[in-house]
Amino acid sequence: MTNMNAPLANRGNDVNTIEERVNTLLTQMTLAEKIGQMSQLNAGDGYAPDYLADGLRAGRIGAVLNIVDVAAVNELQRIAMEESRLGIPLLVGRDVIHGFKAVAPIPLGQAATWNPNLVREAAHVAAIEAAASGINWTFAPMIDISRDPRWGRIAESLGEDVFLASRLAVAMVEGFQGEDLSATGSIAACAKHFAGYGAAESGRDYATTDIPESELRNVYLRPFNAAVDAGVATLMTSFSDLNGVPATGNEFLLRQVLREEWCFDGFVVSDWDSIRQLQIHGLTENDRESAYEAATAGVDMEMAGDAYSGHLAELVEAGRISIGSIDTAVANILRAKFRLGLFENAFTKPEELPAVANGWALETAKQAATQSVVMLRNEHNVLPLAAAELNSIAVIGPLADAPYQQLGTWVFDGDVELSVTPLQALRSLVGDAADVRYVRAMENSRSRASEAFDEAVAAARDSDVTILFLGEESILSGEAHSRADINLPGDQAELVRRIRETGKPVVAVIQAGRPLTLTNIVDQVDALLFAWHPGAMGGPAIADLLFGIESPSGKLPVSFPRMVGQIPIYYNQKNTGKPPSWDNIAHIDDIDTRAPQTSLGMSAFHLDAGFTPLFAFGHGLSYTQFEYRHIRMSANELKPGDEVTVSVDVCNTGGVAAEEVVQLYVRDPVASVTRPVKELKGFQRVHVEPGETVTVDFRLHTDDLSFYGRDGQLVTEPGEFHVWAGGSSETQLRTEFRLESR
């Protein structure tokens, strides 16, 4: 066949030239070829060139997914480039969520680092490793604001906060795409799921979401806006229904917000077969109408379904969808392919890229794991352990030596052989200095068989310290793995109780894909580290932290409830007309049996749980102590357009050098739309030596105070503002300033 696009092959990649190339190519395409560009097919069922070749030659396929055999990818590209009429290369997609071979912590764990530079580096490692297998498009980052830990996909998220999620979303996009999307090793990112997916009712995956427009704009859309501003190449629609209109057919989201307001010029892909699922939602009566609704709403490409390939042509011929709408969608897709440089360089040469799982990749994974671990509790300074003072260590639990489980969810390509477990790392670290006594105790995290508990108790009783490795297996979180009960599964709490009875120091290390309700065990352990699913290098990272080679520096990116009934509980809730305080609440156990019916303080709290989480957003302990002093502002009165510096002194009053994540919060106490009690507006990770005091400066612009008002427009209103700086959202160190009107 004649490759009619060959004359375009050696032209430049500047904006004007790309638009010329897109338009020139569009004029050469038939309707069938255009619809082909709008179709992505699964290539993970056998040797794809055998069963996709005819479709490629006919121009019926624009993208594939789930193929990681570089030879097969190159053959698919060869057929598309050399044997199709127009020679249009393929997009090759894959879920590269938190690493490829050298797996980093789950995204929620990476969010706990509060380190955009490290998150960017981890995404860069993942991009380079994936690119070596022919992948040029990842379905990440997932930037749904997530405030319900029952939802399995909170593991893939960046937590509950708009500011933190937005900063880290940008870092991930930059890591995947690099400075030049066409450069070797760069891959297209895909911000998902647009939008509101993280607010699914009851934390049930795929469930309905009902979000007022004010909340949608002020919370759930903002990370996506940040990703678009950062140049993200693609977006993916959500599976979920949003206010009665499923996201895959939601014209408000895809046309008004994304295209008209944000001027996004990349392309939108559906989630897996979500176009045909519009019928199941009850929005349409058949696949033809589903194709119509999705295309009309602004979905450019269908993933893994055939509604577009089966019905778009007839919809155009019937005049229900204009050829101009088809051209716009195809132009968005072609633009991404030109920006990726695929027309010039569609074939993968692994030798041009670094070897996968090299030293840099594994060190990045280890650094991310180290900074992601959050120390929640450390009574009597049980940690760090001193190897010279220990003769024996009991290592107990189902996740002490579970190399696959520590990788976490969405690790299709992770190499379990690279996974170094805590048991392996501890044995390597202590060597012959101490006897490490390992008892698995439970077959898996869900086990209710306690036959091995006696052996575990004996090991603990005969050791100087016990380290319990508990949590949930990776399969218990992720897509379609929501849980109504988020206590430690199985009989783990009973194991903790039995070990506690030995009277020896107990350290618990939790690996999980979500916050867990730990109320039933938190007082049974002396120290508690939350390690998420820490990835391939989780073992060495945890061992270094346990023995003080590194000091814990992770901070929670999401609040930990005391019990499920508190959900949703997040730090930046509204004040309400009856805000709770310690002075106006009562506990269920304190109520007299025949007490008269009263309002018990008349405030917003639970009788059996109070009003605070077990562990607050931003919380995380260290092996030293940080004291915050002297918060001040460079000006206490601002005018619109001004920028002010907020400064705070951070003193390391302990004896260990460590890193602290300094956090800046703001409140707008009076506004035309009620605002949260606190909002994160800045954070910095700083290293402080013992006895040293460092001054941390934050730049705060009046634009940072903006919010979407009653009319749906972005506004910054004058008035008094409160400002806090400290080590968590519970900080009390406060100052104030006033924003004047124009």
What are the residue numbers of the active site?
271
CB-facing half-sphere around the CA of 78: CA atoms within 13 A: 9
Residue 668 CB burial class (10 angstroms; 0-12, 13-18, ≥19): buried
Q: Which residues pair with 443 in a beta bridge?
A: none
CA gap 535, 98 in Å, rounded:
9
H/E element, 314: helix 307-317
CA gap 332, 266 in Å, rounded:
5
Long-range contacts of 212-221 (CB under 8 A, 24+ apart): 213/708, 213/712, 214/673, 214/708, 214/709, 214/710, 214/712, 216/242, 217/708, 217/712, 218/162, 218/673, 218/707, 218/708, 219/145, 219/162, 220/144, 220/145, 220/195, 220/196, 221/195, 221/257
Question: DSSP strand E in 86-164: where?
Answer: 91-94, 137-138
Q: What tokens were used for 558?
A: 């999401």
Between the two ends of the chain, the Cα-to-Cα distance in Å is: 66
Q: Which residue has the tokens 């300033």?
A: 737
Phi, then psi, of 542 in degrees rounded to 5: -65, -40
H/E element, 511: strand 506-511
CA 136 to chain centre: 20
CA gap 615, 729 in Å, rounded:
10
CA gap 177, 175 in Å, rounded:
6
Amino acid at 421: T
Would you say 506 and 529 are in contact if contact means Cβ atoms under 8 Å apart?
Answer: no
Q: How far is CA 406 from CA 34, 156, 471, 509, in A?
A: 43, 14, 10, 12
Q: What tokens were used for 605?
A: 């709290």
Q: What tokens were used for 183?
A: 């450069």
Would you say 254 and 281 are in contact if contact means Cβ atoms under 8 Å apart?
Answer: no
Would you say 257 and 297 are in contact if contact means Cβ atoms under 8 Å apart?
Answer: no
The SS3 of residue 666 is strand
Characterise 357 by phi-psi region: left (phi > 0), alpha (psi -120 to 50), beta (else).
Answer: left
Quote the Cα angle for 250-290-84, to 5°.
Answer: 105
CA gap 334, 439 in Å, rounded:
56
Residue 712 CB burial class (10 angstroms; 0-12, 13-18, ≥19): exposed
Q: What tokens were used for 730?
A: 């519970």
The SS3 of residue 313 is helix
Give me the count of residues in the chain: 742
CA gap 110, 533 in Å, rounded:
10
Residue 307 CB burial class (10 angstroms; 0-12, 13-18, ≥19): buried
The SS3 of residue 698 is strand
Amino acid at 540: P
| Omega before 141 within 30 of 0, i.e. cis | yes
The SS3 of residue 685 is strand
